[in-house]
Amino acid sequence: MVNTAALKQIDERIIQWLDQVRTMLPAMIKEMDLQTKANRFDLVTNVDKSIEQSFEEMLTKEFPEHQLYGEEAHHDTDRLREGYTWVLDPIDGTANLVKQQDDFCLILGLFYNGEPVLSYIDEFPRQKRFKAIKGEGVYLNDERLSPPPERPLKDCLISFNNKGLNDETMHDLLDASFGYRLIGACGLDSAKVFTGQFGVHIHTNAKPWDIGAQFLFADMLGLKMTNFQQGPIDFIKGGPFIISNKGCYEEMLEILLQKGGYQKA
Ligand code: IPD
Ligand code: CA
Ligand code: CA
């Protein structure tokens, strides 16, 4: 296992890099150039690509033995369970970046022999940085975060992407909860669960980089993070994903599944 002192050293360098990205971002957004991937809603920009490239360059120089698994250009999965592996979504919420210049973030998680040890979700536009160091603590900027109080579903705001959910199930979920909100960036919807602002976030088909940081936050904040059968999620594969306050997890999944609500998209 990696010791905390080694993780803190890595963390120092990552924070420098994140600060650098934060400083450069306004100029990068001014020069933003938009492209589509699989369809007209699947967006990527030169901002996404250059952040991933910058991270790769930093790793090559400072941590040459670390591997990178990144959304834009690093999809090789051969040896990701060996040693250090970073999972990176350079911009999560690209549609929000393009349409609103708000509500997007970077998601970054470090795994050692397949176990999560360092995690970051950086909401650049609002200067909010969530960070978790295994064995040390969870932070929002300089403030230490504690596990949120347990809450029943009827008292929780809930958040889910609706792909693959039938109308009846969505209505049942809305009726059973306090209300619905969706930011539209998996990292930020998840971070609202870290702080207790949301009770739960569901993504019916999360990619590994949408959730690469959430494993460690969930573990250290006493949250549930599983697939819809309450089983573990493979950090290399992703898939159906729920991150939830313990007080509403069982009921949420029961309603989600009871009327065949979730059909694989
Ligand atoms: C997207 C966001 C969004 C989710 C999509 C993801 P991207 O990530 O997390 O909330 O609903 O499925 O693809 O493409 O902006 O990195
Ligand atoms: Ca994403
Ligand atoms: Ca992305």
- Residue bearing tokens 């009770």: 199
First-last CA distance in the chain = 38
- Please tell me the predicted confidence (pLDDT) of residue 194: 98
CA 209/CA 72 separation, integer angstroms? 10
As residues whose CB is below 5 A from the ion ligand 2, the structure lists 89, 92, 210
* Residue minimizing CA distance to atom 12 of ligand 1: 206
Query: pLDDT (tens digit, 9 = 90+) per residue, 54-86?
Result: 999 999 999 999 999 999 998 999 999 999 999
Instruction: Output the CA 93–ligand 3 centroid distance in Å.
Output: 6
- Sites in the chain below the pLDDT cut of 50: 265
Residues with CB under 6 A from ligand 1: 89, 92-95, 161, 184-186, 210
**Longest Cα pair distance anywhere in the chain, in angstroms?**
52
Rg (the chain; Cα; Å): 18
CB atoms within 10 A of CB 163: 12
- The two tokens of residue 170 are 């969505």
DSSP SS3 for 134: coil
DSSP letter for each residue of 189-217: HHHHHHTTSSSEEEEEEE-GGGSTTHHHH
Pocket test for ligand 1, best of 42, 186, 214 (most atoms within 8 A of CB): 186
Report which of 6, 5, 212 is spatially closest to residue 114, judged by C-alpha positions.
212
Instruction: Output the CA 229–ligand 2 centroid distance in Å.
Output: 23
Whether the CB-CB separation of 103 and 125 falls below 8 Å is answered with yes
Ligand 1 atom nearest to 104, measured from its CA: 15
Which ligand sits nearest to residue 71's alpha carbon?
3
- Please tell me the predicted confidence (pLDDT) of residue 46: 93
- Please tell me the predicted confidence (pLDDT) of residue 159: 97
Ligand 1 atom nearest to 48, measured from its CA: 16
DSSP SS3 for 153: helix
As residues whose CB is below 5 A from the ion ligand 3, the structure lists 71, 89, 91
Ligand 1 atom nearest to 44, measured from its CA: 14
- Please tell me the predicted confidence (pLDDT) of residue 264: 57
Whether the CB-CB separation of 187 and 90 falls below 8 Å is answered with no
pTM (2 d.p.): 0.96
Residues comprising the chain, all counted: 265
